[in-house]
Structures are given as C-alpha cells and as structure tokens.
Structure 1
Amino acid sequence: MQDTSPEAPGSPSVGATPDGESAAGEQPVKPVIRAAAAKRANASVIGMIIALALSIGAFLPVVLMNPSPKSDGYRPDINVSAIAQNAEGVAGFTPVTPETGDTFRSNYARWESGSGSGVATWEVGYLTPKESFIGLVQTRQANPTWLLQQTKNAPVTGTRTAGGRDWQLRDTGKGEKSMVLDYRGTTVILTGPAQLEEFSVLAAAVVKSLEGNPAATVSPSATPAS
C-alpha cells in the first residue's frame, strides 16, 4: 500500500542535502567577475604601477646628484692660508693659520665684517682627530658683551697653559668649553665640545702662528673681495 502520509516538518526535501548541495553532488555556483569589471581592475593596477615608476624616475636624479656621505664623514679641503691672505688686507691684523698637519682638518674659513655684532672676526672651524669640533675666532675689537656671546655665557673656571701662554678657561658644564687668549693685539677664542687635550694641541699651534705674525696695528676697513 502506498504511503501518502505528509513529510515531517523540517525534514529535508527529496533530492537536496542539508547543506544546500544537490543530490547529484553539484557544487554551489561561484561568482564570476564580468569582463568589464576585470578590465577596470587591471587598469587601476597598471595605473598605480605607472605612477610609482614615474615617482621613482623623478627622485632618482636627485639621489644620484646628492650621494650619501662616506663612512669617515665629510671632510672638505679648505685652504685656510689662502683665505687668510685674502682677509689680511682689511682685517687690521694677520689672521692666524695654525699648522696642525693632518691631525686637525678645517671645514670652513671666513672673514666676517661684523655688520650685526659690530665686531669683525676671522673664523675657522676644525674637525679634531677624535671626530669632535673646535671653532676658532680672532678679532682686535673684543668687548665684554661680545666675549660672553662667543663663550655662551660660560663662567671662568681657571686657566690652561698651551704654547707657553696661559689661556683663560671657560666651561658651560654641558660639554661646551672655551679657551681665550689676548696676545699681540688680538683676542683668540677656541670653542667647542672637544676634549681639553685637543684644545691644548690647537691652542699651541695658534700661539706659534701668532708669534710668527706681526702684531696688530692697522685699523680694519671694508670686507675683502670674495
């Protein structure tokens, strides 16, 4: 006798599995990207690649023209004596050019007319053997206010002998220090974070240069030609 009773509620229908697959084992239909959408997506990716390539091409010449410094640091070859000779005619004194061999390297040398401070100066920067720095300033127009500015308001902490002369020692207590010498008509200030031993070596070379130069007697005039 044929069973005509209704199916129990919630029971799966004939020909279908509980997870939605057909009885024949057919897999669910996977979504397919239309050709137009795929073309637009590819176009966006290609556009990004082109933009990136253009950006690299724009910055590459700048990088090539400005290479990274070498591991031993940038050490320009400054002819201090030649620049000093150019400044001598207007400085009112012979600028010091301390001879330190290859131990100290200069990274700038210049004559400053003092248009802002009112004190004309001869300035040289030195890289020390221990990769520190000492700045040299020489003038025949020193005054107390200018001196405090040059030494960063550091108090006098004693004296230090170098080159047979007693230099005034000033120390900020924060690494920066200065050695000051009034000799043969000019004032020389050495300032920087270098060790005192390196200060003494440079100071001795400064004294030797001062003793080999004539004392300052001529009033300064205009700035030298560049």
Structure 2
Amino acid sequence: MSEPAPRSSYANGSVANIVRSLLVIGVIVAALIAIVPRVNSVSQPPVDVPGASVEVAKESGWPIERPVALPDGWKATSVRYVRSTGGLMTWHAGYQTPTGNYIALEQTKDATAAWVEAQTNRAAHTGEVQAGGRTWGTYVRSGKVQNSLVHRAQGPTELTTIVTGTGTFEELEAFAGTLRPVRTS
C-alpha cells in the first residue's frame, strides 16, 4: 500500500489562503466582464404608422388622421387602436421629435369631457392657436411637462383630435400641421 500524498499547506483554511482565493476569483470575474459585449442602446423595431392607420380606418370606418411628410428626425415609436377612458376606442400614434421630446396623436369619436381630461392629464385650458387650418385649444399641465392641443369634433362625421406630449407648443403645432386624413383605397 502506498502512502497518501502529503496534505497541502493551502488546504489548511487560513485567512491568507481565503484572501488569495478571492483575489483569483475576482480577477476571473473582471476578465469575464471585460470581454463580454454590452449593449449601449436599445433599438425597437420600426413602427408602421401608415400601414396601421389604413387598417384602423378600414376597421373603424372613422376618418382618422396621421402625420404626412414629417421633417427629418421624427421617429414613430408607437401605434395602437385600443379602448380608453369611458370605453371609447382611441387611435394613437406616438413619435419622438428631433429634439428628443415625445408627441402623441389621440383621436376618438364622440369624445367625452372625461376622455379629453384623461388624454391631457387633467391639464388646464390656457388659450387657443391656429395650426393646420384648425383652431386648437391649448392645455398645459403644471407640475409635469405635458402640453396639449385639443381640436373638438365640429360635427358627427369628425373626430376629436388631441396632439399631446413633452414637446414644445411649436413642435405640437408643426406636428398638427402635418395631419392628413387616411385614405383606405
């Protein structure tokens, strides 16, 4: 029978051995962190507002609008047709402006005061402006950066339209000026 190998002095469990082990593990972890690639920014898939708007216009039969020929730098970020405040179906298209602000288009048929209040985040009515050939009410939410333009339906064949977000009123008005009816044919 052969004699067992002598026991290593590193197996004695001293504080110095624990510190050396932790240092080795730390070097390995640091090396792994250094070589694993990290994402600097998250990009979302492109949002097809024109395609979605045609489908919603066909499905709803509403005269919905969408922005046409926005200047360079505007990026579509969201689009949906969902039930909103008071059970009202709402057409929504969201955009990031060239300055990094957010602007959304919200439209519904037979809008209630509660729906307008919810979309403007209970903002105070502050005046009126002209944009895109229409008169818009201006709304400012104090304490939170949210500006809104509200054009209330003028008849049974028109939708209430809200342009809202963190954009400046100049950006909101420029956006409102690009709104055009969606053609379904």
Q: Same fold (TM over 0.5)?
A: yes
Show the counterpart of 2:5. none
Size of the alignment, in residue pairs? Answer: 171
Is the Cα–Cα contact under 8 Å of residues 131 and 174 in structure 2 kept in the other structure?
yes
Report the equivalent of 2:82. Answer: 112
Structure 2: gaps of 5 or more residues:
1-8
C-alpha distance in 2 between matches for 1:186 and 1:113: 15
Q: So what's the TM-score if we normalise by structure 1?
A: 0.63
Q: Look up the match of 2:6.
A: none
TM-score computed with the length of structure 2 as normaliser: 0.75
- Structure 1 regions of 5+ residues with no counterpart? 1-34, 215-226
> 2:152, 2:117 → 1: CA distance?
15
Using the TM superposition, give the Cα deviation of residue 59 of structure 1 relative to its aligned residue in structure 2, in angstroms.
6.9
**Kept in 2: contact 1:182–1:188 (CA 8 A):** yes
Pairing 1:195-210 to 2, within 5 Å after superposition:
195-206=168-179, 209-210=180-181
Q: Which residue of 2 aligns with 1:40?
A: 14
Deviations 1:109-147 (A, max 9, x none): 112134x64011111111112221112111114111111
Whose strand proportion is higher, 1 or 2?
Answer: 2
Q: What secondary structure sits across from 1:97 in the alignment?
A: strand
Q: Give, in whole Å, the separation in 2 of the partners of 1:58 and 1:89.
A: 53
Identity rate, percent: 24
CA contact (8 A) 2:54 2:183 kept: no
Larger RCO (CA under 8 A, 6+ residues apart): 2
Residue 178 of structure 2 aligns to a residue in which SS? helix
Counterparts in 2 of 1:164 and 1:36: CA distance versus 1, 3 Å: closer
Contact 1:109 1:123 in 2 (8 A): yes
The alpha carbon displacement at 1:186 in A equals 0.7
Which residue of structure 2 aligns with residue 181 of structure 1?
Answer: 151
Alignment match, 1:149: 118
Give the match for residue 26 of structure 1. Answer: none
Tell me what 2:133 maps to.
164
1:41-65 residue CA offsets vs partner (Å, 9 max, x unmatched): 453134314543665688789x73x
CA distance in 1, matches of 2:10, 2:113: 81
Partners of 1:189 and 1:113 in 2: how far apart?
16
Q: Which has the larger radius of gyration?
A: 1
